[in-house]
């Protein structure tokens, strides 16, 4: 998760520091990266909440695996 968050923050910083490379769509590019960052953070929070509410170990493992698969989709 931390690597993903750092990569999104690095991309946002790159867009802010090099606006001439994106033309008029700088705000759109920044918004797309920010929305990806925000969705990733929300998925991680939901993952933590689901795992904290799980009672038995078998459900914990199955929920963890299913949420990891969901986070792999971009």
Domain boundaries, the chain: 2-71
How many percent of the chain have pLDDT more than 90?
23
Mean pLDDT of 22-40: 89
- Is residue 33 within 8 Å of residue 27, measured between CB atoms? no
Mean pLDDT of the chain: 85
- Is residue 71 within 8 Å of residue 40, measured between CB atoms? yes
- What integer pLDDT is reported at residue 1 of this predicted model? 58
Mean pLDDT of 15-35: 90
């Amino acid at each position: 998760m931390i690597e993903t968050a750092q990569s999104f923050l690095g991309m946002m910083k790159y867009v802010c520091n090099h606006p001439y490379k994106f033309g008029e769509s700088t705000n759109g590019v920044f918004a797309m990266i920010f929305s990806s960052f925000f969705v990733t953070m929300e998925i991680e929070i939901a993952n933590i909440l689901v795992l904290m509410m799980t009672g038995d170990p078998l459900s914990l493992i199955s929920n963890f695996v299913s949420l990891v698969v969901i986070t792999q989709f971009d």
